[in-house]
Amino acid sequence: MYLQHFGLRELPFSLTPNTHFFLNMASYHKAFNMLVVSLANAEGFIKISGEVGTGKTMLCRKVLNTLEDDKERYVTAYIPNPVLSPKGLFMAFAEELNIEVDQDVGQHRLIKVITEKLIEISAQGKQAVLFIDEAHAMPEQTLEALRLLTNIETEQIKLFQVVLFAQPELDVALAQASLRQLRQRITFSFEIEALDRDGVERYVVHRLATAGYNGPFLFSKRALDLLYRTSMGIPRLVNILCHKALMVAFGKGERTVQVEHIKNAAEDTDGIEVPGFNFKPALIALTGIAIGAAIMFSLVRF
């Protein structure tokens, strides 16, 4: 592998959502702050959306870790795969709350023991928070069951909060009339955006430095330009392309990543279109106009 060749301690562009590599850039910073403040104020349902690969799971893990470090205040539950029936969702939530129940328990009894546990947590002065990743994959009936579950409350407070991390497909589902009550429960929502060109450069520099690299900049400016255009600023695609480009550069015994290495990486990746990079259409068009004007001027003079 290329670690020793480039002076790295670990792989800088792994697809695993390792919060060690979390970069507090504008979009993530706003989302993180919104989540922390909303949870502190017990705001109910919160929704974080974003396209595939924009870092939703990384953000989810970062917030989870932050809350878990404050065990005096929060009790967290995390469901990463919510393709569940309503009862399956309740069972998963109960398991996360360390409630032991039989698999054949009735739904009414299940909700009762969850309620009792949530009341116990609240009596301890703590706040229960349920994180659901990939929430766009939840069946409609399960989404509605989740809304009904949040009716568990005292006269003063909700007994737990819900944070949904999802692709934009969740917004399509919530637009249905049958889920309008759940839509109205969402008090805060935030959309994670793709990185811009400067953001891609900061992202690459940060991950390399976090992985132990401390030499001269490893990617040429033109390589970063092409990386941004091919990845469209999607962090997951940036990771895939950078990892492959480093492998190509290593295979050729080269110390920096150049345009051709990014191009090779992109050509080896399904779903990636490689834009032209040896010319600039706008410049060519302007050059053509200038040449045409010069020819016309010379003909007039003639």
Task: Output the tens digit of pLDDT for each of the chain's 302 residues.
Answer: 799 999 999 999 999 999 999 998 888 889 999 998 988 888 779 999 999 999 999 999 999 999 988 989 999 999 999 999 999 999 999 999 999 988 889 999 999 999 999 999 999 999 999 999 999 999 999 999 999 988 877 666 788 999 999 999 999 999 999 999 999 999 999 999 999 999 999 999 999 999 999 999 999 999 999 999 999 999 999 999 999 999 999 999 999 999 999 999 999 998 888 876 443 433 333 334 333 433 333 333 33
- Name, in order, each residue with C-beta under 8 angstroms of 190's C-beta and a sequence gap of 6 or more: 30, 31, 34, 35, 47, 48, 49
Residue 233 DSSP SS3: coil
The residue to which tokens 């003063």 are assigned:
156
- Name, in order, each residue with C-beta under 8 angstroms of 160's C-beta and a sequence gap of 6 or more: 118, 121, 127, 128, 129, 130, 150, 152
**Which residues make up the CATH 3.40.50.300 domain(s) of the chain?**
26-192
Q: What is the pLDDT of residue 286?
A: 31
d(CA 256, CA 245): 10
**Which residues make up the CATH 1.10.8.60 domain(s) of the chain?**
198-302
Helix (H) or strand (E) holding 48: strand 45-50
Q: What is the pLDDT of residue 288?
A: 40
Number of helical (H) and strand (E) elements in the chain, helices listed first: 13, 5
Q: What is the pLDDT of residue 247?
A: 97
Closest-CA residue to 21 (of 207, 149, 194): 207
Angle between helices 235-251 and 221-231 (to 10 degrees): 140
Q: What is the pTM of this model?
A: 0.85
d(CA 135, CA 167): 8
- Name, in order, each residue with C-beta under 8 angstroms of 276's C-beta and a sequence gap of 6 or more: none
Quick one: fold of 26-192?
Rossmann fold (3.40.50)
Q: Which amino acid is at 152?
A: I
| CATH (residue range 198-302) | 1.10.8.60
Residue pair 205/216 in contact by the 8 Å Cβ criterion: no
Q: What is the pLDDT of residue 271?
A: 82
d(CA 206, CA 234): 15
